[in-house]
């Protein structure tokens, strides 16, 4: 670590503090990705199908996301049936994109390591 002694940023280079723990869980990442691609929102049933979650799992993930102000949940009645509509908030959209930027950096860092020493990593690059 001698080369990093004078540079605090370099010491913590791979800490990836921006990987938001609320978003990073697979179920919540699925929900947010579904909602970011449907800006008008999605029904509970549609989210359940898109994310392959059970009613209970989806409910719990939505609760966590709503507490973090990443999603807004509106309950109502449509054709005499209860309906739940979920939408991403502006805060949620901003935090999601910030999360993606950090995740992209993780991928770039890993790809750079593989490109630098593919044999050491046990990987072979396919000729392009």
Give the pLDDT of residue 126.
55
pLDDT tens, per residue, the chain with 128 residues: 455 555 665 677 777 887 889 999 999 999 999 999 999 999 999 999 999 999 999 999 999 999 999 999 999 998 899 999 999 999 999 999 999 999 999 999 888 887 777 565 555 555 54
SS (H, E, C) the chain: CHHHCCCHHHHCCCCCCCCCHHHHCHHHHHHHHHHHCCCCCEEHHHHHHHHCCCHHHHHHHHHHHHHCCCEEEEEEEECCEEEEEEEECHHHHHHHHHHHHHHHHHHHHHHHHHHHCCCCCCCCCCCC
Query: Where in the chain are the domains?
Result: 21-115
Give the pLDDT of residue 1.
46
Structurally, at CATH architecture level, domain 21-115 sits in Orthogonal Bundle (1.10)
> What pTM, to 2 d.p., does this model score?
0.78
Give the pLDDT of residue 89.
98
Q: Which of 78, 90, 67, 68 is nearest to 45 (CA)?
A: 78
Give the pLDDT of residue 86.
98
């Amino acid at each position: 670590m001698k080369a990093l002694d004078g540079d605090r940023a370099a010491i913590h280079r791979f800490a990836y503090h921006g990987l938001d723990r609320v978003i990073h869980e697979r179920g919540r990442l699925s929900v947010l990705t579904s909602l970011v691609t449907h800006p008008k929102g999605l029904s509970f049933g549609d989210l359940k199908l898109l994310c392959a979650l059970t009613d209970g799992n989806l409910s719990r993930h939505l609760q966590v996301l709503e507490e973090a102000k990443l999603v807004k949940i509106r309950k109502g009645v449509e054709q005499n049936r209860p309906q739940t509509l979920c939408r991403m908030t502006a805060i949620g959209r901003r935090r999601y994109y910030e999360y993606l930027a950090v995740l992209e950096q993780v991928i770039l860092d890993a790809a750079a390591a593989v490109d630098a020493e593919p044999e050491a990593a046990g990987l072979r690059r396919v000729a392009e």
